[in-house]
A and B are shown apart, each in its own frame.
Chain A
Amino acid sequence: MALSRLLASWPALRQLREGDPLGLGKAVQSPRSKHLVPRLDEAEHVVESICPYCAVGCGQLVYVKDGDVTHIEGDPASPISRGRLCPKGQASKSYVQSPLREYKVKYRRPYGTRWEELSLDDAMEMIAERVIRTRAETWRKQTEDGAPANRTMAIGNLGGATLDNEENYLIKKLMTALGIVQVENQARI
């Protein structure tokens, strides 16, 4: 058996057996080639998504296996994009898995010359404290002219056009309640 299998896989022999005397087609098809399965078909989930780059709003399908994105391509069902993507959209998987992606909080202390490690919990505590402190120190109930102000002009928040509506909603809601009015995004750029 072992011998016959070995012999059968010998190209010249297969060429004769399979009517491919020149060895151009089936006779030389390797087992891997014969049994190829596209990554798309091996995915555990396919998740409906939208391209994160420009505002055309192309539909994306995100293929997932073992908790990781294995491929992203256009969603043919979208009436806008009809399954197509531009180079940026098509590179979405490489973007979410960029070799330069950061996964840990980094902290630079005043006058520091390097990044330091910091836990996410500590970072959140520290940021919350700074917002509270700066706000308390710079709070203005009124303007110099005596008009109502209810704000701090010492804190700003920038960014939003790349974020979700729900995120923008929470940002504006929180900042407004904190009296932070300098909330801005890329609509200016």
Chain B
Amino acid sequence: MPGLGTSFGRGGATTFQQDLQNSDCIVIMGSNMAENHPVGFQWVMEARERGAKVIHVDPRFTRTSAMATKHVGIRAGSDIAFLGGIANYILQNDLYFREYVEKYTNAPVIIDSAFADTEDLDGLFSGWDPEEGEYDVESWMYEGMELHGAAGQREEGFDATKGEASGHGGHGGGLHHGEPPAEDASMQHPRCVLQLLKKHYARYTPEFVADTCGCSKDDFVEVCETLSANSGRERTSAFCYAVGWTQHTVGVQMIRSAAVVQQLLGNIGRPGGGIMALRGHASIQGSTDIPTLYNILPGYLPMPHTEKYGDLDTYIDANTSPTGWWGHFRAYFVSLMKAYFGENANAGNDFLFELLPRIDDDNSVYWTVEQMLEGNVKGYIVAGENPAVGHANGKAHRLGLAKLDWLVVRDVVEIESASFWYDSPEVESGELEPEAIATEVFFLPAATHTEKDGSFTNTQRLLQWHWQAVEPKEDCRSELWFYFHLGRLIKQKLENSEEERDKLIRALRWEYPTHSQTQEPAAEAVLQEINGWEIESGKFLSGYPELKDDGSTLCGCWIYCGCFADGVNQTARRKPHWEQDSYVAPEWAWAWPANRRIIYNRASADPDGNPWSERKRYVWWDGEEGKWTGVDVPDFDETKEPHYVPPEDAKAEEAVAGDHPFIMQADGRAWLYVPQGLEDGPLPTHYEPHESPFDNPLYSQRANPRRQQNKDLAEDPYNPVADEPGSEIYPYVVTTYRLTEHHTAGGMTRTVPYLAELQPEMFCEVHPDLAREVGLEHGGWATIYTSRSAIEARVLVTDRIRPLRMNGREVHQVGLPYHWGRRGLVSGDSANDLAHMALDPNVHIQEVKAFTCGIRPGRRPRGPELPRFVAELRDQAHSRREQKPRVEPEEARKT
């Protein structure tokens, strides 16, 4: 996640779930942890039992709120206003942890004089290019420093890297500098980060927060006071978030806001502190580390880009930071190429760099769907994901699938993405007819976790091995089997090809031992390759410092290097916690990086290397032994003294000072202000959601100017917003979510009898006032509609979704779980059919946590009546809008 990556250096949770027990205050926001991570929530309850405050800030009163010592209801999508308000409160009242902020963050760093804030430019940062609709980030830089990707290269046509394509896929950015940045340790300089922050958030007063978020001023101040009182030398507070933050057009900046607050309070890298990213799939962290993502290679190495990088050296240079651990980029990349292509990749042929495929700025899944709709995508393989239900604007996805030549769906059950051609809302409405769909569909049954070996990386960066318990039955196979044999067949068929395009696949190292009757590849052999070895000796590597840039080591994912150290599957370690010395339990499985459980833990000691307090002791400098020690693996060069000052010519990690704990960052500091690596600004700013009933109270710039929109895509129309005529047709804020009893798109739970019965039907949650206003009956049916579609749901009238008063107006919110689809033991309409595909610009994530809708009593129209109903309302709304169209400022500035 670039929110965490650009702030601290690594895109993973900074702490681990068990450590939450040490928190004095836990703020859960953008997460419904008790419902969606119930077992992890035990550690929050442990903290609460020890007297910690548990604060839940959320639009709904959920099972998490019920357990919290304090719940504050806010309008969906207003989180940055709330968090910015906390930052302002801390700054205005001098509640920040001064020594931590001064030494460990970039608060003292002076920013280029060309930088202009949103407060100066009415909601835009300096560098906005209205034609391109994006920022030139040069003015955001530290004073006296150049952008990564030096000027000379830019003249040659190589752009500065931004967003996920830079900063190593959301990891800490590389600053191109050899000198230390210009600083003012007193943090008084008007252009130092601390002062910029003060200015940026000055208007985020408690009154502003109350008006924008719809909470009471008192509740807000109580949160600020509680959080500040429980941070500092003696006390620590933690934040927990989940997709309630990520799924917004400002998702990355919401997480950044928490990063700002936690840096100001000095809570990163310390026990009981941190930011706990709660992820929703068994290995969603793993599938980002070892990505099945378009823009990165394993270990957050950027994919080569059609325009940004030329040859190998340019690519390496553009991604190598002179300081910090990204200084060894070449070693990471070359070792990966050796893992991919073996002896076929060597220094003589630039490790086959020239043959690697190139990406464009956005080849993410929503872009692919657009391409499908345009007929440009012919084949699609879907393995363990259900876009027909789980993705925003499900209809667009289903219509896209119907335009493919061929589709492979691999799953345990026949999910909606496999059955779209004969069982979907579009078949029901007549928009799709099976006889007219050319898509050839292969459904291949998958093996489950009990039927294969392998490792998951959990939400705290922990790789945990699961062993095969039984053989998969009949045609069921693991993905390992499928992709291995698919690759084997393809390689076989292309063995003698002379085509240029087949060179790379022919060069692919693709030999893994297989076992059992099914010829299942050995998952451990793959893990060994991920860990890597020294090529000549075959000796397994014990960590990424051993990687070489000359092709003498092989490693499939540098950050996972060490997971098979000493030839032992470290991820399969299961020493019971009661046999381990501390609650950190380092001998249970293996965490990246280097088995560290709290990262940046050098920050748990003061600049001199002593614990900030006895109570919050974790990692410290042992002067006698001359090394860092503690209950965790120190996230620092073990023998680097606290007062180490790098010599002038120092490179890579050597250039990070002894009192700079954020070793992945080029300057060793946490970034309050992100000069490089984000598309939409160095500081989080409150913008309204893409679809919202309100104007932005701060600026005429209403929503994130950099958000990705599909203005020309007929399948993804938008509701009129704010004061636009027509917005009254969609007056309510809708938010989607999960329930404890189900999992995501439901493929793994609607199909399980004991779970299906616990939440058997799609429902909507509304307040009694809204029910009265539109005539909804508890237990009856409601039709919820947007410009995209309409769905029906049973009505659950509850006080748990309160109307909020703000800006002199009362706003109702509609809550929608999104687990249902047409298949399974229990079925129902899909909430995601209502959502649009406007995206966060950094990570291309959809905004399903806050958009607008209308609601009326009764079931939705059936058959062809359904699209007609949706279109009539939409046409009405859009024609009203046409009478007085709102021009977004981001466009109005076009020359």
Contact = CB atoms under 8 A, between A and B. Distances in A.
A89 B462 CA distance: 18
A34 to B, nearest CB: 30
B880 interface: no
A164 to B, nearest CB: 3
A11 interface: no
A23 interface: no
A127 B484 CA distance: 13
A86 interface: yes
B340 A149 contact: no
A188 B354 contact: no
A59 B412 CA distance: 22
A28 interface: no
Contact of B37 (A54, A153, A154): A54
Interface in B431-478: 434-445, 448-460, 462-471, 473-478
A168 interface: yes
Contacts of B366: 188
B221 interface: no
Contacts of A26: none
B486 A174 contact: yes
Contact of A159 (B379, B382, B412): B382
A159 B574 contact: no
A164 B365 contact: no
Chain A interface, DSSP helix/strand/loop, else mixed: mixed
Most buried by A among B357, B364, B473: B357
A107 B444 CA distance: 9
A57 B459 contact: yes
A97 B67 CA distance: 34
Given A103-B473, A176-B297, A56 B368 contact: no
Contacts of B464: 50, 57, 59
Contact of B371 (A103, A153, A169): A153
Contacts of A131: 379, 486, 490
A170 B483 contact: yes
Nearest to B35: A86
Contacts of A118: 442
Interface in B349-370: 354-360, 363-368
B434 A112 contact: yes
Contacts of A76: 576
Interface in A157-177: 157-174, 176-177
A55 B467 contact: no
Contact of A186 (B294, B390, B436, B465): B390
Contact of A160 (B287, B499, B557): B287
B22 to A, nearest CB: 14
Interface stretch (A1-9, A12-20, A67-75): A67-75
Given A161-B385, A181-B303, A187 B282 contact: no
A107 B578 CA distance: 51
Contacts of A101: 412-413, 445, 751
Interface in A84-111: 84-89, 91-92, 94-96, 98-111
Contact of B421 (A92, A108, A150, A178): A108
Given A54-B279, A86-B39, A103-B475, A182 B379 contact: no
Contacts of A170: 479-480, 483-484, 487, 521, 526
Interface string A109-123: 111111100101001
Contacts of B474: 103-104
Interface stretch (B54-62, B96-104, B723-731, B842-850): B842-850
B298 A104 contact: no
A88 B751 CA distance: 11
Interface residues of B, number: 175
A149 B306 CA distance: 6
Contact of A155 (B379, B457, B470): B379
Contact of B485 (A124, A137, A151): A124
B292 A168 contact: yes
Nearest to A81: B39
A150 B408 CA distance: 23
B777 interface: no
A80 B494 CA distance: 47
B166 interface: no
A187 B284 contact: yes
A79 B580 contact: yes
B118 to A, nearest CB: 27
Given A86-B740, A110-B438, A112-B434, A104 B445 contact: yes
A29 interface: no
Nearest to A75: B574
B323 interface: no
Contacts of A169: 290, 298, 526, 529-530, 556-557
A189 B588 contact: no
Contacts of A114: 422
Contacts of B741: 87-88
A124 to B, nearest CB: 6
Interface stretch (B227-235, B502-510, B687-695): B502-510
Interface string B369-394: 00100001111111111010011100
B711 interface: no
B698 interface: no
A84 B487 contact: no
Contacts of A141: 500-501
Interface stretch (B178-186, B640-648, B742-750, B765-773): B742-750
Interface in B751-767: 751-755, 758
Contacts of B341: 177
Contact of A164 (B379, B437, B479, B844): B479
A137 B406 CA distance: 14
Nearest to B560: A165
Contacts of A75: 574
A131 B380 CA distance: 9
A93 to B, nearest CB: 8
Contacts of A58: 39
A48 to B, nearest CB: 6
Contact of A49 (B37, B450, B490): B450
Contacts of A188: 364-366, 391, 843-846
A55 B456 CA distance: 8
B88 interface: no
B520 to A, nearest CB: 11
Contacts of A189: 243, 247, 390-392, 744, 845-846
B665 interface: no
Contact of B283 (A125, A151, A163): A163
Nearest to B352: A177
A30 interface: no
A149 B759 CA distance: 48
Most buried by A among B390, B412, B751, B823: B412
B242 to A, nearest CB: 9
Given A86-B38, A183-B294, A186-B284, A48 B574 contact: yes
A184 to B, nearest CB: 4
B291 to A, nearest CB: 6
A185 B385 contact: yes
B445 A103 contact: yes
A27 interface: no
B292 A157 contact: yes
Contacts of A87: 740-741, 754-755, 758
Given A102-B413, A151-B358, A168-B291, A51 B379 contact: no
Contacts of B17: 56, 80
21 contacts: A50-B449, A50-B456, A55-B283, A56-B40, A67-B470, A81-B39, A87-B740, A98-B412, A108-B441, A113-B435, A128-B493, A130-B406, A137-B378, A149-B357, A150-B356, A164-B286, A168-B292, A182-B294, A187-B288, A187-B291, A188-B846
Interface of A: 45, 47-60, 62, 64, 67-69, 72, 75-82, 84-89, 91-92, 94-96, 98-115, 118, 120, 123-132, 134-139, 141, 143, 145, 147-151, 153-174, 176-189
Q: Report, nearest first, the 4 A-B pairs whose CB atoms are least far apart.
A: A164-B454, A57-B458, A160-B292, A161-B281
